[in-house]
Amino acid sequence: MSTCGTGRGYVDEAVGEKLFSRGEKLFTKRPFGTDLHLTYRIPAFDGEKMHRMARAFMNVLALSDLARDIGVSRPPVTEMFLPLTTHASQPIRVRETFKDIAGYHRAVFHGGKKVDAELMKLFDVTPLVEDVPSLLSIDKIIRPYWEKLVKENPDAKQRGQRLFLARSDPAMNAGLVPAVLAVKVALSIAKETADDLDMDVYPVLGTGSLPFRGSVNPQYVDTFLEQYSGVRTYSIQSAFRYDYPKDEVKKALLKIKHEAPKRKIVKISDEDKKKIVKLCSIFSGYWKPTIETIAPLINEVASYMPKRRERLQHIGLFGYSRGIGKVRLPRAIGFTAALYSVGIPPELIATGRGLTAAAEAGLLDTVEKYYPALREDLKHAGKYLNRENLAMMAKKKSVFRDVERGIDALEKILEIELGPEKPHHILHRNLTSSIYQRLQSSDLSKESISREIVEAGVIRKSLG
């Protein structure tokens, strides 16, 4: 099964009709609703401001009507991803609300006939979990929800359940290492829960191309397949598709398709889960105050990024430390691009200090056991480190001196050396030096900074 997802932005409400009209030949060979599916990523649930969710519901029902009118055997949309899920009550409420809306739809437009029987039989709300605490305790979300699904519909057990785990937002909120470790714990818990309910689970992982966002790119396939063993679906973003040679992309996608189903989820013992919870606290303890302090720089650089598409504003996901003022941050692409654009890859910001504390707590082996790609990720990110920029920042703010010391520590602990290795890495360093110098100038040229941000993104094969 292949899935096309809609993003969190302003989606064309006629997307289904346009797909039907423009892809007639494709859908003749691979029927829409059977081989290919359209999956909506609906608005986050807040219990009150439901107008966009209601619009999505009606769109799904209208598209189901269209499919039936043109002779398509199954509804094109039978699944919705629910962002920012933190509690089982959220997908339960959304699913029940959709049932109510479907009932009104039948009564008003179909004289009460059960035209949506197939849709209601297949319909699922898939939790999208986006923060580290929820990933670490994901059983509180999925167990009550899955138990209710199985009780109401035996087919839910037979076909199994999907689960969408974010990779970028957890990294933004807690740092690189907690994001990876929390995803590994969530995968383990999901497998245990599914086994208890005698069904299969098919995890989806939302990723990006750079290590901070998952390292899912055509040159890293074997590594991320091993790192996230058990994931059945990887979100493929534009950097994967367009910043690498087409043949290389096709080869990578085929490998993911054939190899991902063979990989098994790594089960984590209760003892190791407790260690990972402690590690997440250690690393995020360095990450959060650092990011809160340097947020003005991140936001300033991100403001020069060219706008690629309309996106809805981020909804207060950042986990603020108590006693520290709240900060607003750009979305994952802007956040990651901003830090890379001044030569401070986010992968390097708190990792060294976290590793030092982990070593002191006797937990370094646990990090390496469940994050085997750590060295490779850091070496890749480290090629884009601009030590000169960091040194200049450190003269102005002590927080950057802490970052410097952390980088020194991770090089020592992991026995690696960070910095440009090839000519294009040096060119990237030069561009980030220029960007930083322009930011210090009173005569800012938005066009020049934006152009250099894009040029640097081209070199590393991903804007953010």
Q: Are residues 62 and 210 in the same domain?
A: yes
Q: Are residues 226 and 274 in the same domain?
A: no
Q: Are residues 201 and 286 in the same domain?
A: no
Q: Are residues 421 and 274 in the same domain?
A: yes
Question: Cβ atoms within 10 A of the Cβ of 373, count?
Answer: 17
What is the per-residue pLDDT for 11? Answer: 59
What is the per-residue pLDDT for 1? Answer: 44
CATH number, residue 108: 3.20.20
Range of the domain at 90: 2-262
Q: Are residues 74 and 214 in the same domain?
A: yes
Please state the rounded mean pLDDT for residues 289-304.
Answer: 96
- What whole-number distance in Å separates Cα of residue 143 and Cα of residue 147? 6
Q: Name the helix (H) or strand (E) containing 107.
A: helix 89-109
pLDDT value at 451 more than 60: yes
Q: How confident is the model at residue 221 (pLDDT cuts 50, 70, 90)?
A: very high
pLDDT value at 372 more than 70: yes
Q: Are residues 63 and 127 in the same domain?
A: yes
What is the per-residue pLDDT for 122? Answer: 87
- What whole-number distance in Å separates Cα of residue 180 and Cα of residue 431? 30
Please state the rounded mean pLDDT for residues 405-417.
Answer: 98
Mean pLDDT, all residues of the chain = 90
Asked, for residue 464, whether it belongs to a domain, the answer is no
What is the per-residue pLDDT for 324? Answer: 31
pLDDT in tens, 202-216: 999 999 999 999 999
Per DSSP, what are the bridge partners of residue 202? 162
Q: Are residues 58 and 26 in the same domain?
A: yes
What is the per-residue pLDDT for 320? Answer: 35
Q: Are residues 204 and 312 in the same domain?
A: no
CA dihedral 417, 418, 420, 421 (to 10 degrees): 30
Asked, for residue 347, whether it belongs to a domain, the answer is yes
Q: Are residues 234 and 277 in the same domain?
A: no
**What's the domain count of the chain?**
2
Please state the rounded mean pLDDT for residues 103-122.
Answer: 87
Asked, for residue 323, whether it belongs to a domain, the answer is no
SS (H, E, C) 60-91: HHHHHHHHHHCCCCCCCCCEEEECCCCCCHHH
Q: Which residue has the higher pLDDT, 166 or 63?
A: 166
Of 262, 279, 295, the one marking the end of a domain is 262
Q: How confident is the model at residue 308 (pLDDT cuts 50, 70, 90)?
A: low
- What whole-number distance in Å separates Cα of residue 63 and Cα of residue 56? 11
| Percent of the chain residues topping a pLDDT of 90 | 73
DSSP track, 276-341? HHHHHHHHHHHHHHHHHHHHHHHHHHHTTSPP-S--PPP-S-S-PPTTS-------HHHHHHHHHH
Q: How confident is the model at residue 316 (pLDDT cuts 50, 70, 90)?
A: very low
| 220-224, 236-240, 292-296, 403-407, range with the lowest pLDDT | 236-240
Please state the rounded mean pLDDT for residues 135-157.
Answer: 94
| 172-186, 296-310, 386-400, range with the lowest pLDDT | 296-310
pLDDT value at 200 more than 60: yes
Q: Are residues 423 and 363 in the same domain?
A: yes
What is the per-residue pLDDT for 317? Answer: 46
Q: Cα dihedral sign for 430, 432, 434, 436? A: negative
Asked, for residue 337, whether it belongs to a domain, the answer is yes
Please state the rounded mean pLDDT for residues 362-381.
Answer: 98
Q: Are residues 8 and 79 in the same domain?
A: yes
Question: Cβ atoms within 10 A of the Cβ of 420, count?
Answer: 19
Contact 321, 288 (CB under 8 A): yes
